Structure 1
Amino acid sequence: MIERRITFIIGDEGIPSWKLNQLKTLAGYFRAVVVMQNVTRLCQANAEQPVRIMSLGCMPGDLCQLVIEGSDAELAYMVLTDFVAEQFLLVKTSGKKKNRNACSVDSCDKTNTAFYLPFELVISTRDLSVKELGLVQSTEAKEMVMARLCRMLNPENPDLLLQLMQERERVSSTCMGNGIALPHIMSSEIKQPAMALIQLPHAIEWGSNRGPVTRVIAMALPFPAQRPHIEAFAHFSQALLAPEYCRLLTENIQAEALKALLLHTLSRPFTANCDTPKE
């Protein structure tokens, strides 16, 4: 089954009924199921049911996705991408055409509160292939993934980060359940908050009875951590307790869409007053 996803932000007008009716009409042209997911509120409804979408409580600034599945998914994706770009703020994904009503995922843009953080943050993503991961034992696979994450977080000094990460894992496994692991470290050697996400080609064990993982998200924070850092990463950790949010992280495969999911969740504590960020 072919699946495509369109990631976008709801604008100041919200979603008036005429936009929902137009979405319903367009979705009905194709042999595909189109579902609208509100990422901010972790709820969803079929695009052919405008009343159900209205019940999602979508608000300006909410991050959403259209999930398209079916034999006509490719054609529906092209048509609906144009519709979304005209009516909402399209989140750019790699390889897609440029659009004047599209935005890149940027934590420094104060005008885009959906992705705004009051501090600099580096986010990198990487897909591991079956060949790269190989047929190694679970323990070796975990060590290899952590080493790769540390190189993504700090290419200049990954060995220190790996040592800190291994020490943290010896205390207790950082598996969060629902297919997600969250190795995290804090050190005075870290100068800038950073996140790295690796998508695995198959599930590996992470030393926990919460099950194997297919997504590993590493966080590195300076020590002592500033209050905005703590608030952002605490909110993100809490979000990982929701199976619906973890499902979004494991089902999305495009790098920019994953960055949007991460950054949007991290920015939620600051969206109310992003013009006066905390010191």
Structure 2
Amino acid sequence: MIERRITFIIGDEGIPSWKLNQLKILAGYFRAVVVMQNVTRLCQANAEQPVRIMSLGCMPGDLCQLLIEGSDAELACMVLTDFVAEQFLLVKTSGKKKNRNACSVVRSDKANSAFYLPFEMVILTQAVSAEQINLIQASDVKEMLLPRLCEMLNPDNPALLLEMMQEREQISSTCMGNEIALPHIMSVEIKQPAMAVIQLSQPVEWGSNRGPVTRLIAMVLPAPARRPHIEAFAHFSQALLEPDYCRLLTENTEPEAIKAVILHTLSRPFTVSCDTPKE
């Protein structure tokens, strides 16, 4: 079964009924199931049911995805991507050329409250293949993957973070359950908040009875942490307690989509008052 996803933000006018009807018509042309998924509110409805989509309560600034599955998924994705780019704010993906509605999600964006953070940070992603995982023994998983996370976060001096990461793991496993581990540290040696995501093509054990993991999401924070740092990362940590949210992180494979989901969640404490950010 072919699967494709289109990630976008709802604009100021929301989703009027004529857009939903157009989406229904376009989706009906293909041998594929198209589902509208509201990431912000963790709910979804089939594109063939416009009234059901309206009941999701989609609001301006909500992050959404079209999940497309079926034999025509690739062709449907091409057509629906053009529709989304015209009607909404399309989240930039590596496979699409830039357009007037494209939105990069790596940096905070005050003009776009869906991704606004009152501080600068970076989100990095990397994939590890099954072949790479099979080259190591199960007992060596952390020994291989923690250094890789630290190199992503601080390529000039990964050893600075590695020792702190290893000390944190010795206290207790950072496995959150639902296939996600959250290695995290706070230190005066860290100058800027950052996150690194490793996608694992097959589950690995992370020293916990909460099950194996397929996503490693490392967080580093400067110490002492500012209040906005704590609010953003606490909100993200709480979101990881929701199985549906974790499923979004583990099922998405496009780097920009993963960044969008994470950054949107980090920004939620600031969306109401983004014009007067907290200090």
In the alignment, the residues of structure 2 paired with residue 141 and residue 71 of structure 1 have an alpha-carbon distance, to the nearest angstrom, of: 36
In the alignment, the residues of structure 1 paired with residue 77 and residue 154 of structure 2 have an alpha-carbon distance, to the nearest angstrom, of: 36
Equivalent runs, 1:41-80 vs 2, <5 Å: 41-80=41-80
Bigger Cα displacement from structure 2, 254-263 vs 105-114: 105-114
In the alignment, the residues of structure 2 paired with residue 200 and residue 163 of structure 1 have an alpha-carbon distance, to the nearest angstrom, of: 23
Moved over 4 A (4+): none
Equivalent runs, 1:167-246 vs 2, <5 Å: 167-246=167-246
Aligned residues: 279
Measure how far apart 1:186 and its partner are.
0.5
Question: Partner letter of residue 132 of structure 1?
Answer: Q
Does the 8 Å contact 2:106/2:259 carry over to 1?
no
Does the 8 Å contact 2:197/2:218 carry over to 1?
yes
In the alignment, the residues of structure 1 paired with residue 212 and residue 203 of structure 2 have an alpha-carbon distance, to the nearest angstrom, of: 6
Equivalent runs, 1:21-40 vs 2, <5 Å: 21-40=21-40
Question: Partner letter of residue 229 of structure 2?
Answer: H
Q: Secondary structure at the match of 2:271?
A: helix
**Residues 82-134 of structure 1 deviation map (CA, whole Å, 9 limit, x = unaligned):** 11011100001002122112211143321111111000101100001223323
The alignment status of 1:17 with 2:17, answered yes or no, reads yes
- Partner residue of 1:132? 132
Does the 8 Å contact 1:270/1:277 carry over to 2?
yes
- Partner residue of 1:114? 114
In the alignment, the residues of structure 1 paired with residue 189 and residue 134 of structure 2 have an alpha-carbon distance, to the nearest angstrom, of: 32
Equivalent runs, 1:142-157 vs 2, <5 Å: 142-157=142-157
In the alignment, the residues of structure 1 paired with residue 74 and residue 22 of structure 2 have an alpha-carbon distance, to the nearest angstrom, of: 19
In the alignment, the residues of structure 2 paired with residue 237 and residue 105 of structure 1 have an alpha-carbon distance, to the nearest angstrom, of: 19
Bigger Cα displacement from structure 2, 98-107 vs 248-257: 98-107
Question: Partner letter of residue 254 of structure 2?
Answer: Q
Superposition RMSD in Å: 0.9
Where structure 2 has 5 or more consecutive residues not aligned to the other structure, the ranges are none
Measure how far apart 1:275 and its partner are.
1.6
In the alignment, the residues of structure 1 paired with residue 257 and residue 222 of structure 2 have an alpha-carbon distance, to the nearest angstrom, of: 26
In the alignment, the residues of structure 2 paired with residue 252 and residue 75 of structure 1 have an alpha-carbon distance, to the nearest angstrom, of: 19
Question: Partner letter of residue 215 of structure 2?
Answer: R
Measure how far apart 1:184 and its partner are.
0.3
TM-score (norm 2): 0.98
Where structure 1 has 5 or more consecutive residues not aligned to the other structure, the ranges are none
In the alignment, the residues of structure 1 paired with residue 235 and residue 108 of structure 2 have an alpha-carbon distance, to the nearest angstrom, of: 19
Identity %: 81
**Residues 199-240 of structure 1 deviation map (CA, whole Å, 9 limit, x = unaligned):** 012100001000000000000000100000000000000000
Bigger Cα displacement from structure 2, 244-253 vs 157-166: 157-166
- Partner residue of 2:97? 97
In the alignment, the residues of structure 2 paired with residue 106 and residue 124 of structure 1 have an alpha-carbon distance, to the nearest angstrom, of: 8
Q: Secondary structure at the match of 2:44?
A: strand
Question: Partner letter of residue 42 of structure 1?
Answer: L
In the alignment, the residues of structure 2 paired with residue 193 and residue 99 of structure 1 have an alpha-carbon distance, to the nearest angstrom, of: 29
Does the 8 Å contact 1:106/1:116 carry over to 2?
no
Measure how far apart 1:277 and its partner are.
1.5
TM-score (norm 1): 0.98
